[in-house]
Amino acid sequence: MPDALDPPSLRRRCDPAQFEFATTADLPDLAEPMGQRRALSALDFATDIAREGYNLYAIGEPGTGKHSLVREALLRRAAGESTPCDWCYLNNFAEPHKPLAIALANGRAQALRGDMLSLVQALRAIVPETFASEVYRSRVAEIEQGYERRQEDAFAEIHEQARRENMSILHTPGGFGIAPVRNNEVLGPEEYEALGQEERQRIDEITARLRERLSQVLLQAPEHAKRKREEIEALNREVATAAIEGPIEELRGRYADVPAVGNYLDAVGNDVLANLVEFGERPSHQSNPLGLPTPPAPFFRRYQVNVMVEHAADSGAPVVYLDNPNYRHLMGRIEFTAQMGTLVTDFTQVMPGAIHRANGGYLVLEARKVLQEPYSWYALKRALNAREVVIESVGELLGLASTVSLEPAPIPLDAKVVLLGEPLIYQLLCAYDPEFADLFKVTAEFADDVERDAGNTQVYAQLVAGLARKHELLAFEREAVAEVVDQSARLAGDAGKLSLHMRSVSDLLSEADHWAREDGAGTVARAHVVTAVAKKRERVSHLPEKLREAVLRETLLIDTAGATVGQVNGLSVLQSGAERFGHPARITATVRLGKGEVIDVQREVELGGAIHSKGVLILSAYLGSRYAADSPLSLAASLVFEQTYAVVDGDSASVAELCALLSALGDAPLRQSLAITGSVNQLGQVQAIGGVNEKIEAFYDLCAARGLSGEQGVLIPRSNVKNLMLREDVVEAAAQGRFHVYPVDSVDAAVELLTGLPAGTREADGTFTPGSLNARVAERLARYTQTVRALTRADESPP
Amino acid sequence: MSVRRVILAMDAAHRDEAALHDATRIAAQLDSAVTALLVRDPNLERFAGLPGAMEVLGSARTRRVQRADLDADFARVLRALSGRLGELAHEARVAWSVASTPLHPLGGIEPADLLLVERRAGHVPVGRREIGSLAAALLAQASQSVLVYERRLWLDRAIALLLEPGLDTALDLALDLARAPGRLLAVLTSPDETAFARDRERLRAAVAGRGLVLSVERLAAGRSGTLAHSLHRQGAGLLVLDERSALLRQEGVANVLETVALPVVLARTR
C-alpha cells in the first residue's frame, strides 16, 4: 500500500535565496525572448529566404505573447531593410474605368500629387489668359471676319444684282425677303398691283432668280460655319499647346527617371487640349467662409493623384498588423458617392488595404480572424499566388456585380505574410486547404512553457523585471519573484515547468502591483502576489462554491466518510470561461449476470464523450483478460456518473470506475474519505491525467468544509506527482497529517487503499491470493459463469 | 445729365445675346435701367403685304409670308428678348424692359437715354465702310448719345476720350463709363503746348476724386488713323467723342468707325 506524499512533493518552492537581486529594478531586460529560440529562428529563416511561398505561420496558444514577439522581431529586422517604393493610382484617360498604378521612389508620390495640383492650377490660369490675349482674339477675329467677308461678298453680289433691277434684299426675323423698291422704299401692295402685268412678271422672274441665288449662298453657310469652327479649333489647339507645353515639360523633366509619369503627362496634355472649354473660366481664389480649402471642381479631379501608399524616406520596410482583417480592410476597396440618386466612383476613390501598406515589408494577421471574415482568406491566397494585389468588390470577386465599376491595375506584391494562430487552426488548414502548405512553408512554434531549472529560474526573474518595466509596474522583491515563479509553475500545470503564457503572467504581475499600491508599498512583496492569486481565485470561485454548497446541503450526494460498495469519489475538471476548477463526482457501479458487457450509462444517453467511452471499453478488456481469460465473462455491469447533467469526457475517471466495478464484484466497500483520479490501461496501470492540482484542491475544499478527519485524501497517478503545485493550505494540511495525497501506479494499489483489503496476486494455480479483493472478484465472476452454463444447459435439455 | 436708361436697339437681324449682356453691364455700371428695343423696318411690313411674298429662311428653304406671320415672328422675338434680358438684368440687379417701335419715327426714347446699336444693324448686306440702316436712323433721328459697336464691346479695357477744344459734352459720359475699368485715356487735340497744359489741368481736376488712372496725350494731327494707332497702343476698349468733333466732320462717322475699329460713343448735348 503506497504511502502518502510528503509536503515537499506537493508543491515545489522557489527559494528566494537563489536570487542575488533585491528587487527586479536591479535586473536588466532579457537579451532575447525566453524559451522561444526555435520560433525566432524559424522567423529569421522565413524572413531571410526570398522565395515564393515562404510565408510564416506562427503557432502558439493564445496569450503566449507570439504577437508581440513576432512584431518586435519584425520591427527590428524591418528597420534595417530598404524602404519600398510609393504607389499611386492615376486616371487612365484612354480607359477611365481602368486606373493606372504607378510606383515612385519613396516620398515622391506626395510630391507628384502636389505637382499635379500645381500644374492644374497653373493651367487654369494660363489657358484663360491665353484665350483672352489680344493676339488670340485678333486671330479669331481674322478667321471670323474672313468667313463673314466671304459671305458679305456673296450677299453684296446679290444685293448689287437686285439693286440694278430695282429690287432689295430685306432681313426678316426668320431670314430674307426680296422685294421691288422705288425711291429706297419697298413697294406697297397697291403700288405693286398698279404695275402692269409685264412689269409684275419681270419682278417675279427676278425675284425667283435672286431667291435661287440667295438659297445657294445660304446653303453654303453651314459648310462655312463648319470650316470656321474647325479653323478656330485648330487655332485653339495651337495656342493652347504652346501655352501648356512649358508647365508640362517642366514637370516631365522633374520625373524624367519615371517613364510611366512621362506617358501619363502626355495623356494629360492631350486631355487638356480636348477639354479646353473646361479651362475657360479662371479658378476662383475666394476661400470659403470657414477658411477651409475649396475642393477641386469635379472636372479637375481627373488630374488628381491618388496616393495609395507612401513611406517616409529611410523609414525601413513596413510592418503592418491588421486587427480587423475583413476583406475591405485587407485588400482595399472602391468607394462610391451618391450623385442624383446614383452611386458613382472614380480612381480617386480607390482606397488601399493593409496588404498595400505592407507591400515591400511584412503583414501580420491573426489566422482565426482572417478565416472568420468572409472572402479574406480566399483573397489573401489569391494575392500570394498571383503575387499581385487586385482591388475589387466582393460582388465582382464572386462574379455577382452587374454594374460597371473600376478595374484598377494590379499592383505587384512583394510582402511576407505572418499568420498568428493556434495549433488547431494550423492543423485544420493543413488538412483541409491544399494551398496552405504551398503558401505558408515555414512554421514558428511558440512554446507555452519552459523547463524549470536553476538557469531558467534566473532568466524568469529577468522576464518578470522586463514585464514590470514594460507595464510600468512597481519593482518586485526577490520573494515576490519567487512566488511568481511558483505561480508560473502552477500556471504551467507542472512543478517542473515555467509558464510562458505571457498574458497570464502579465495579469498576475499587474494585479500584484495593484495590491502593492493599495498597500502604499514602494515595491511588490510576496504577500501582494499571494493576495493577487487569492483575490483572483475569490473572484472566479462563485460556481465552485455553489457546487460545493450543493454537496454540503446534500443536494449533490458526495460522501467524505464511511465506506460503500460500488461507489467511489471521482474527480472532474470543469471549465467556466477562462477558469477551470475541480469538482468531486460520485461514480457508482452495479453488477449482475450478463453477457460480458459493461454499460456506460453516460454513453447510452449520449452524455459521454469518445475518450470517456474508450476508457470504459478498456475496463471491459481489463476485466475479461484479468479475471476471465479462460472462460466467458458472464457479467453485466453498469457505470454511472451520478448527478451529472452534461457531457462527461476524458478518461481520467477510468481508474475510479474500475475501482467501483471491482468493489461491486468483490462486494468490498470503498472508503468515501478518499477520491481518486487517473486513467487506466488494459494492464491495470494507472496513467497520468490533467488538472491534478485543481482536482485535489476541490476534494480538499469539500473535506475542509465538512471538517478534516485525517482520513481524507486523494489518490493520483504516480506519474502526476511531478505536476503537483498545490495551494499552501492543502500542503499545510498534508504536513499536519489532516489530508493525504497518495501516488498509485496500479489498480491493485488503488483498491488496496480504497478497500483496505489486499489486492492479491495470481498464484501458480491461476487463482488469486485467498481473501484478497482480486480473489473475491474472480470468484464472483466464476459463479456468474457457472450460473450461465447451468442456465444454458437447462435451456438445451429436451422438454 | 446722367444716363437714366441704356437702350439696346435691335432689328430683326441683330439680336445677339452678347449685346444684351453688354448693355446690361453698361446699365449696371451707370446705375441705370436697360431696355431692349426692337425696331421694325416699315419696308418689312410692305414686303409682307405683297402678293406671293416669299421668305428665304436661314436653312435656304422658302415659305410664304404675310403680315400676320411677320407679327407673329416679332412677337416671338420680343418674348425671347424679354426672357433673356430678364435673367441678365436680374443677375446684374438693374431694372429692365423690352419695347418695340417702328423705324420711322422712332418711339419710346427719352432724353436721358444712351442708345446702343450694332453698326451694321438694319441693312443687308453691309459693306465695310457702310453703316446699317438702323444705326444710320438712330444717328440721324435720335438726339441722345449713341454707342455704335461692331460685334462686341470690351468693357474691361480703358475708356478713351477724344477731347477737342470747346467740346466737353463727352467728358461726363466718359468719366461715368471709365468707372468700371478704372482707366481713362484722354487724347487732347489742343492746338499748342500751352493750351494742352491748360486742358490737361482742367481734365485732371475733373477726374480728381473718382479713383481713375488717367493718361493724357496730345494728338497733334487730328486724323483717325493716328488716333487709332494711339488708342490701340494704349489698350483702349471704347472711344467717347463729341458728335460735333472736327474729326467726324472731316472723315464722316462711317470712316471714323471703320478706322478706329473700336466701339464709339457719339456724345450729344441733351
SS (H, E, C) A513-552: HHHHHHHCCCCECHHHHHHHHHHHHHHCCHHHHHHHHHHH
pLDDT at A285: 46
| Helical spans, DSSP H, in chain B | 17-29, 42-49, 67-92, 133-141, 169-177, 193-207, 224-233, 246-251, 253-260
pLDDT at B222: 65
pLDDT at A287: 44
| Chain B partners within 8 Å of A218 (Cβ) | 56, 58-60
Mean pLDDT of B11-25: 81
Mean pLDDT of A728-749: 94
The pLDDT-based confidence of A252 (bands split at 50, 70, 90) is: very high
Q: How many CA atoms lie within 13 A of B64 on its CB side?
A: 6
- Distance, in angstroms, between A123 CA and closest chain B CA? 23
Nearest to B53 among A152, A174, A177 (CB): A177
Q: Do B50 and A187 touch (CB under 8 A)?
A: yes
Q: Does B168 touch chain A (CB under 8 A)?
A: no
Nearest to A211 among B56, B58, B235 (CB): B56
With left for phi above 0 and alpha for psi between -120 and 50, is residue B174 left, alpha or beta? alpha
Residue B170, classed as helix, strand or coil, is helix
In the predicted structure, residue B15 carries a pLDDT above the cut 80: no
Mean pLDDT of A743-748: 94
In the predicted structure, residue B253 carries a pLDDT above the cut 70: yes
Work out whether the CA dihedral A785, A788, A794, A797 comes out positive or negative.
negative
> DSSP letter at A476?
B
- Distance, in angstroms, between B229 CA and closest chain A CA? 15
Residue found under cell 483717325: B224
pLDDT at A281: 60
Nearest C-alpha in B relative to A192 = B50
Q: What is the pLDDT of residues A178-232, one digit of tens each?
A: 999 988 889 988 999 898 999 999 999 999 999 999 898 888 888 888 999 999 9
Mutate to test the interface with B, among A186, A193, A210 (most CBs of B within 10 A): A186
Alpha-carbon span A32 to A36, nearest angstrom: 8
Residues 6+ apart with CB under 8 A from A524: A468, A473, A474, A475, A476, A477, A480, A509, A512, A513, A516
Alpha-carbon span B184 to B163, nearest angstrom: 12
Q: Do B54 and A173 touch (CB under 8 A)?
A: no
Count the Cβ atoms, other than its own, within 10 Å of residue A441.
17
| Chain A partners within 8 Å of B56 (Cβ) | 175-178, 211, 214-215, 218
Residue A447, classed as helix, strand or coil, is coil
- Distance, in angstroms, between B143 CA and closest chain A CA? 24
Nearest to A173 among B49, B53, B74 (CB): B74
ipTM (interface predicted TM):
0.84
pLDDT at A471: 93
| Chain A partners within 8 Å of B63 (Cβ) | 174
pLDDT at A290: 47
Between these two residues, B113 and A599, which has the higher pLDDT value? B113
Mean pLDDT of B60-77: 89
- Distance, in angstroms, between B43 CA and closest chain A CA? 5
Q: Do B56 and A188 touch (CB under 8 A)?
A: no
The pLDDT-based confidence of A392 (bands split at 50, 70, 90) is: confident
Q: Does B70 touch chain A (CB under 8 A)?
A: yes
How many helices (H) and strands (E) would you count in chain A? 27, 30
Work out whether the CA dihedral A689, A691, A693, A694 comes out positive or negative.
negative
pLDDT at A205: 92
| Chain A partners within 8 Å of B41 (Cβ) | 170
Q: Counting one residue from A and one from B, how many pairs have CB atoms under 8 Å apart?
A: 103
Alpha-carbon span A678 to A651, nearest angstrom: 8
Q: Distances in Å between the alpha carbon of B79 and those of A385, B73, B99, B100?
A: 71, 10, 10, 11
Between these two residues, A611 and A689, which has the higher pLDDT value? A689
Q: Does A172 touch chain B (CB under 8 A)?
A: yes
Residues 6+ apart with CB under 8 A from A492: A448, A449, A452, A498, A499, A501
Nearest C-alpha in B relative to A185 = B43
Q: Do B125 and A219 touch (CB under 8 A)?
A: no
Residue A555 cell numbers, joined: 443536494
pLDDT at A628: 75
pLDDT at A422: 92
- Distance, in angstroms, between B74 CA and closest chain A CA? 7
| Chain B partners within 8 Å of A211 (Cβ) | 54, 56, 62
| Chain B partners within 8 Å of A204 (Cβ) | 52
Residue B241 cell numbers, joined: 467723342
> DSSP letter at A495?
T
Residue A574 cell numbers, joined: 470543469
In the predicted structure, residue A266 carries a pLDDT above the cut 90: yes
Q: Does A161 touch chain B (CB under 8 A)?
A: no
| Chain B partners within 8 Å of A172 (Cβ) | 12, 44, 47, 55, 65, 70, 73
Mean pLDDT of B95-118: 87
| Chain B partners within 8 Å of A189 (Cβ) | 46, 49-51
In the predicted structure, residue A515 carries a pLDDT above the cut 60: yes
- Distance, in angstroms, between B225 CA and closest chain A CA? 18
Alpha-carbon span A224 to B58, nearest angstrom: 13
pLDDT at B232: 86
Q: Distances in Å between the alpha carbon of A193 and those of A165, A190, A196?
A: 18, 5, 8
Q: Does A195 touch chain B (CB under 8 A)?
A: no
In the predicted structure, residue B83 carries a pLDDT above the cut 90: yes
pLDDT at A798: 62
Residue A182 cell numbers, joined: 422705288
The residues in B 114-133 lying below 8 A from A, measured between CB atoms, are: 122-127
CB A80 within 8 A of CB A267: no
| Chain B partners within 8 Å of A188 (Cβ) | 46, 49
Residues 6+ apart with CB under 8 A from A488: A460, A498, A499, A505
Instruction: Report the DSSP pairing between strands A86-90 and A305-309.
Output: antiparallel
Q: Does B59 touch chain A (CB under 8 A)?
A: yes
Residue A296 cell numbers, joined: 477641386
pLDDT at A293: 47
Between these two residues, A173 and A703, which has the higher pLDDT value? A703
The pLDDT-based confidence of B126 (bands split at 50, 70, 90) is: low
Nearest to B50 among A134, A179, A214 (CB): A179
Cα-based angle B104, B107, B108 (whole degrees, multiple of 5)? 160
Mean pLDDT of B161-190: 86
Alpha-carbon span A461 to A781, nearest angstrom: 59
Q: Please give the positions of A annotated as active site.
A: 652, 695
**Nearest CA among B182, B132, B168, B180 for reference residue B240:** B168
Alpha-carbon span A464 to A352, nearest angstrom: 40
Q: Distances in Å between the alpha carbon of B110 and those of A546, B7, B144?
A: 108, 10, 8
> DSSP letter at A28?
P
- Distance, in angstroms, between B269 CA and closest chain A CA? 31
Q: What is the pLDDT of residues A103-132, one digit of tens each?
A: 999 889 999 999 999 999 999 988 888 888
Mean pLDDT of A618-634: 81
Q: Do B47 and A193 touch (CB under 8 A)?
A: no
Residues in chain B: 270
- Distance, in angstroms, between B2 CA and closest chain A CA? 32
The pLDDT-based confidence of A653 (bands split at 50, 70, 90) is: confident
**Is the backbone peptide bond immediately before A374 cis, with ω within 30 degrees of 0?**
no
Q: Does A211 touch chain B (CB under 8 A)?
A: yes
Alpha-carbon span A392 to A410, nearest angstrom: 10
Q: What is the pLDDT of residues A436-453, one digit of tens each?
A: 999 999 999 998 899 999
Q: Do B60 and A176 touch (CB under 8 A)?
A: no
Alpha-carbon span B175 to B185, nearest angstrom: 10
pLDDT at A230: 92
Cα-based angle B66, B72, B76 (whole degrees, multiple of 5)? 145
The residues in B 83-112 lying below 8 A from A, measured between CB atoms, are: none
Mutate to test the interface with A, among B16, B39, B55 (most CBs of A within 10 A): B55
Mean pLDDT of chain A: 89
Alpha-carbon span A489 to A505, nearest angstrom: 11
Nearest to B55 among A172, A186, A204 (CB): A172
Alpha-carbon span B253 to A211, nearest angstrom: 33
Q: Distances in Å between the alpha carbon of A71 and those of A65, A74, A309, A406, A644?
A: 10, 5, 21, 35, 45
Q: Do A179 and B47 touch (CB under 8 A)?
A: yes
- Distance, in angstroms, between B150 CA and closest chain A CA? 11
Alpha-carbon span A254 to B149, nearest angstrom: 49
Q: Does B135 touch chain A (CB under 8 A)?
A: no
Between these two residues, A249 and B169, which has the higher pLDDT value? A249
Beta-strand ranges (E) seen in A71-225 are 86-90, 100-104, 167-171, 175-182, 185-186
| Chain B partners within 8 Å of A177 (Cβ) | 44, 47-48, 53-56, 65
Mean pLDDT of B85-98: 94
